[in-house]
Chain A
């Protein structure tokens, strides 16, 4: 999987590269408008991560050019501008998703994988995790072909874990992803724990060969045995 990251902030770049490399993506980086334009025109990528505010131009122009040339690369806009206008403009121009800075790497993983899955032709929209199979469109989970009953929250949690297999997921990142922005100011995220506990129990009862590990003080990690 080839990804192009168009981002001018060096540290941000490094973080994204380091994180996506762990997921096994092949990453190319463009730090300015012209280089980004060249790369976009010359090569094809599975997904382009596009920062709107570049020092010498607008990321939206790159997106326009891309669509004009009839290229089918998926695009996720990443921008510090969380104004609705930018979001609407970006999505109208054909971006597949929009991510507002600051974001958690786990969130980027989930969005990126979801976009790539959707765009890959003929690909079944399902994820295999050990002996566990998640059917995303049907919202169903099977363990060794036996259905696992999960409520919506548990399904979302499992899905998020699946996109971040073997990665550390911060509790606040999990709360934001599953419970929405509403939760980001709650006094603590202990309530997540009870959901995780239920999910763990269900997974164990059906003898799934995945395990949700707690990482002290930070969050959780899904490990495939």
Chain B
């Protein structure tokens, strides 16, 4: 539900209540006023009739309403004394309407100067209450509808205008990514609350950005600091392994420690590389000739692929010249190609194609697709290969992300990685 609709719902419920109560009070007040005025009329009429009866005694014999609005009936003095002026609602057949209609009736008694007593009934036609209610209801309904529509229109225009800075803020926040160079620019607004909101957001983002930066820096520094101690350990162990008086069993232990240390070094190197890429520490110079690089990489990896009994082929259709640092292009290529060789079977193949501004690396391998959600995440290992760092594809992803290249993976019997340059 939008902000506009919220206010509208509350206001319409409140209005309904207010208008309802107001209509009831208004109705009874009006009715009261109408009765008052009719009763006054009846009173006046009564006086006129009594006065007239003194001049014209025929009036006294009119004991049916018929064409006029009164009837007179002689009564005993006793009865006359018991009658006080009474106004009442009653029904009377109306010829015009062909129906009984409500009328107001005044029952009174008077005495003529000759001492005779008469009962006088005067009537006046009445408002039809149901018609009145109906009219009132309809006009109020219209009023209610018009008010709601007006509110909707005004609210929409108002909200669009007043809340414009707010929506701009949201737009800006949507585009905001931690670690990207894009900064949050608070939109101009005269509304105090929005200014406060923007300032708070700005502050919050700044702090987050700082924490993020220092975190990234920390990873880089940590892996950098780890390099030397790791190298020293490896060097010392290698020197130790050269001693002549080491038993075969001891040598096995040394070898195992060495292997783990080397794995740690590789892991550390990858982490360092990853944070360097993310910290944008590589400079772009010239566009690199990717095709030459591919040929060279394939040449470098030839012994490895021969050992794994995987055939490498390269379809050099179009020369790709992306503007990315040569070091990173090399890492991108060798990580992808190595990956395609490692996650393959003996007798399988890797097919590389450079065409239509894209690099495609296809390889045979496991008969089912890889989990696309996971393959690019850090430390995700699909195989049980103990030597893999699980960072190879994360590095590839970091490179493509930072240079805004599109990389996607699909499975059509072969595993296909495609980078659009």
- Chain A interface (Cβ within 8 Å of chain B)? 9, 11-12, 15, 18-19, 22, 80, 101-105, 153, 167-168, 170, 172, 179-180, 182-188, 190-195, 215-218
Contact = CB atoms under 8 A, between A and B. Distances in A.
A218 B251 contact: yes
A195 B392 CA distance: 26
Interface stretch (B17-25, B160-168, B176-184, B296-304): B296-304
11 contacts: A11-B236, A12-B228, A22-B242, A102-B228, A103-B231, A167-B242, A179-B303, A186-B304, A192-B303, A215-B255, A217-B252
**A-B CB proximity, top 3 nearest:** A102-B231, A217-B255, A191-B307
Max chain B C-beta neighbours (<10 A), residue from A22, A103, A190, A216: A216
B230 interface: yes
Given A15-B235, A102-B234, A217-B255, A184 B306 contact: no
A185 B228 contact: no
Contact of B330 (A182, A186, A191): A182
B300 A182 contact: yes
A184 B385 CA distance: 15
B420 interface: no
A217 B251 contact: yes
A189 B330 CA distance: 20
B350 to A, nearest CB: 14
A192 B338 CA distance: 15
A172 B258 CA distance: 10
Contacts of A12: 228, 231-232, 235
B387 interface: yes
Nearest to B342: A187
Interface string B226-254: 01101110111011011000001001101
A12 B262 CA distance: 17
A170 B234 CA distance: 10
B208 interface: no
A218 B308 contact: no
Given A12-B231, A191-B306, A216-B248, 20 more contacts: A11-B236, A15-B232, A18-B239, A80-B224, A80-B228, A102-B234, A103-B231, A104-B235, A105-B239, A168-B242, A170-B238, A170-B262, A172-B262, A180-B300, A185-B270, A187-B385, A191-B307, A191-B308, A193-B307, A216-B255
A15 B239 contact: yes
A217 B242 contact: no
A185 B391 CA distance: 10
Nearest to A81: B224
A215 B237 CA distance: 14
A84 to B, nearest CB: 8
Max chain A C-beta neighbours (<10 A), residue from B230, B235, B308: B235
Interface string B208-236: 00000000000000001001101110111
Contacts of B242: 22, 167-168
Nearest to B343: A187
A113 to B, nearest CB: 18
Contact of B239 (A9, A19, A184, A195): A19
Contact of A168 (B230, B241, B306, B308): B241
A183 B239 contact: no
A184 B235 CA distance: 17
Given A185-B389, A217-B252, A11 B232 contact: yes
A13 to B, nearest CB: 10
Contacts of B266: 184-185
B307 A218 contact: no
B388 interface: yes
A195 B302 CA distance: 12
B338 A186 contact: yes
B378 interface: no
Interface string B176-210: 00000000000000000000000000000000000
